[in-house]
Amino acid sequence: MTGNGRAGAPYRLPTRRVSLAQRNGVFRGHQSMVENLFAAAYRCLVEPDPDRKVGLAGALASAWCAGGLAVERGVALPDVAEAGRPERPLLVDARGLFKRGTGTPEGRAALVHAVAHIEFNAINLACDAVYRFRDLPEAFFGDWIRVAGEEARHFGLLRDRLRELGHDYGDFPAHRGLWDMAQRTAGDVLARMALVPRVLEARGLDVTPGIMERLRRAGDDRTADILVVILREEIGHVAAGTRWFRTICRERGLEPEAEYFRLLDQFLRGELRCPLHLEARREAGFSEAELMRLQAMCDDG
């Protein structure tokens, strides 16, 4: 694989610095100077090769930080129904997946593969948020570009670990739940923020400490240590989702808590997965009222 996804080898920052005038689109016609943000997000989103996708996500994050991308909302770009992914892993119904016990090396490899698959999809979800919801403020793009870069690094760390365990991404079947939710929430950024960061990524906060504990008990501190890094950054992703969910609610004159639970009802029909990692969710911006109501749903279920 390329160096972009390797542990301890972060993306190279571009040496070229771009002025604020260029960032603001003064040199829009100069394709070689400033690329359109949405064209760059598109390339990453549709890229099927994992190594190249990781490289593009890292380059996107670096270019944004260096002011090397112009926000040109009016440029015509194709619709994306399917994000780019490699031929393998084979996508199956979640019920058909191999049970991921941590007691055997094969079980641990399957577990690392499952988390790597989530991270691969998370790169696509972050790029899709930027690409699809183009009328949002620049700070929104900045948040999800940063997330795309972090997801790419998470995927790279897990893919390297998978190789250490004698496997690679694509060796086990996987599910398509994450991208399904991207498609279901494609019509509304508010639903996207509620259901992707504030449900699916928040679920990751709930389950990761238990997985780390099982791994440590099985003597796999190396994978557990990677998950410590991932969990820390995932709290930031859920926090970004919370911030934008509340901002958009405010703009639309909606009460955020009522709207969140209305969307949970609409998309999940009350099927909440428990238990909750309350402390991590609190850190990620969930209010006490939200947590109490979610906990009550768990207790009732």
Chain residues that interact with Fe ion, rule: CB under 5 A: 119, 122, 151, 154, 201, 234, 237
**Nearer to Fe ion (CB atom), residue 23 or residue 161:** 161
- Beta-ladder partners of 69: 35
**Nearer to Fe ion (CB atom), residue 54 or residue 122:** 122
- Encode 231-257: b = buried (16+ Cβ within 10 Å), e = exposed: beebbbbbbbbbbbbbbbbeeeebebe
The minimum distance between CB 203 and Fe ion, in angstroms, equals: 11
**Nearer to Fe ion (CB atom), residue 102 or residue 208:** 208
**Nearer to Fe ion (CB atom), residue 35 or residue 234:** 234
User: In Å, what is the CA distance from 133 to each residue of 99, 126, 199?
Assistant: 37, 11, 19
Q: What are phi and psi of 70, to 5 degrees?
A: -100, 140
**Nearer to Fe ion (CB atom), residue 35 or residue 160:** 160
Q: Which residue, 70, 241, 49, 42, is CA-closest to 132?
A: 42
| Tokens at 149, concatenated | 């870069």
The minimum distance between CB 151 and Fe ion, in angstroms, equals: 5
Query: How far is it, in rounded angstroms, from Cα 274 to Cα 255?
Result: 25
The minimum distance between CB 269 and Fe ion, in angstroms, equals: 25
The minimum distance between CB 118 and Fe ion, in angstroms, equals: 7
The minimum distance between CB 148 and Fe ion, in angstroms, equals: 9
